[in-house]
Amino acid sequence: MPSNKNLIHLAILLSVIVAMAPFPRALAQSGSEIAVTNCVLANACRGTVTTPATTFKANITLANVPSLVGFDIIVNYNPSVLTTVSVAMGNAFAGKLVVTLANETTQSTGTIHVAEVILGSDAAVTNSSLIVVTYAFTGFGVSPITISSIFLTGLVSGVVVLLPTPTIVNGTASTPPAATATLTKWKARPDIKNIGIGSTQTLFANVLNTGTGVAFVRVDFIVTSSSGSVTPESTAVTSLPTTGTAVVSVSYTVTGLPSGYFVQARLMVSGDGLLFVFSGATKTFSFKSS
């Protein structure tokens, strides 16, 4: 089996060969196309995805290539909106002996580079996937998903040739507009400042919608005892209309030995009730058990 170093050398060599195009070039193939097909919750959505989920799959599909031998593809996206969770090979080369020359993701630049070749045969591709990328939304905004480079090699009359560049159909992933909210007035506090062990403590927060649309809010409380235990507690999600306010809360049972408790309240905000980001609003307070 080739070493990683040899595979890297092969990938570099393939890139140089393709760039210089020493292969015979095939005549244009009718209707060949490579496309970003965004799949959310198993529903194919070609072109644009407005998130109903924080993760989704972008299926890079290839159509109408009768004798595919290899591919070298670069896909770009906006790294401030999306993070690559995983890159999986598609079904275009299913059942074939395949060498993966490159499978690299650079999150800082939003770049995915994948290259594969079949050994000893070719594949008839009518409508198959080359790669399947799982993305996670990590920020609000719009991200193009762009096929910025694609090279295909195929077998024509027994000769491996560089195939014509197929028609490229790019995609877009977007979130609803970001909502804004803040902790207001007394911000956050406990129901009981000195509570008995075994009693139920309730943590409250007062939230204000500071944006121009509906804001979905949730407050995460990080409860740290003086003995070192850490307990995360979160309120239910609440929908606030423009300029609306709400008091949200979560309860839990105080157990263990007498202790002091230090609590940090963190306000999380969403424009759709699914993708939450930290608003920057926080409040720290304390209570005791006895």
Q: What is the pLDDT of residues 214-233, one digit of tens each?
A: 999 999 999 999 988 999 99
pLDDT in tens, 57-78: 888 989 999 899 999 999 999 9
Average pLDDT over residues 43-52: 36
Q: Give the separation between CA 278 and CA 148, rounded to whole angstroms.
A: 33
Q: What is the DSSP string of 231-282?
A: EEEEPPPEEE-TT-EEEEEEEEE--SSSEEEEEEEEEEEESSSSS-EEEEEE
Expressed in percent and rounded to 5, the helix, strand and coil fractions of the chain are 5, 60, 30
User: Is 181-289 in the same CATH topology as 4-174?
Assistant: yes
Residue 209 confidence (pLDDT) above 70: yes
Interacting residues of 129 by C-beta distance below 8 A, sequence separation 6+: 59, 60, 61, 62, 90, 91, 92
Identify the architecture of domain 4-174 in CATH: Sandwich (2.60)
Q: What integer best gives the mean pLDDT of the chain? A: 83
| Residue 285 half-sphere exposure toward CB, CA atoms < 13 A | 18
- Position with higher pLDDT, 48 vs 44: 48
Identify the architecture of domain 181-289 in CATH: Sandwich (2.60)
pLDDT in tens, 165-177: 898 988 888 777 7
- The H or E element spanning position 12 is helix 4-20
Instruction: For the chain, give every domain's residue range.
Output: 4-174, 181-289
Q: Output DSSP code: residue 16.
A: H
Average pLDDT over residues 182-199: 96
- Position with higher pLDDT, 220 vs 37: 220
Q: What is the pLDDT of residue 33?
A: 67
- The H or E element spanning position 187 is strand 181-190
Residue 27 confidence (pLDDT) above 90: no
Percent of the chain clearing pLDDT 90 (strictly above): 54
Q: Are 108 and 135 in contact (CB under 8 A)?
A: no
Q: What is the pLDDT of residue 177?
A: 73
223 - beta bridge partners? Answer: 231, 263
Q: What is the pLDDT of residue 50?
A: 42
Residue 246 confidence (pLDDT) above 60: yes
Backbone angles phi, psi at 19, to 5 degrees: -60, -40
pLDDT in tens, 110-140: 999 999 999 988 999 988 999 999 988 887 7
- Position with higher pLDDT, 34 vs 40: 34
Its pTM surpasses 0.85: no
Listed residue (274, 79, 268) closest to 181, CA to CA = 268
- Position with higher pLDDT, 97 vs 136: 97
Kindly compute the dihedral angle of the four CA atoms of residues 84, 89, 92, 96, in this order, to the nearest 10 degrees: 170
Residue 31 confidence (pLDDT) above 60: no
Q: Output DSSP code: residue 19.
A: H
Judged on CB neighbours under 10 Å (0-12, 13-18, 19+), 77 is buried
Percent of the chain clearing pLDDT 70 (strictly above): 82
Interacting residues of 192 by C-beta distance below 8 A, sequence separation 6+: 199, 201, 202, 287
Residue carrying structure tokens 């993708």: 275
| Residue 277 half-sphere exposure toward CB, CA atoms < 13 A | 18
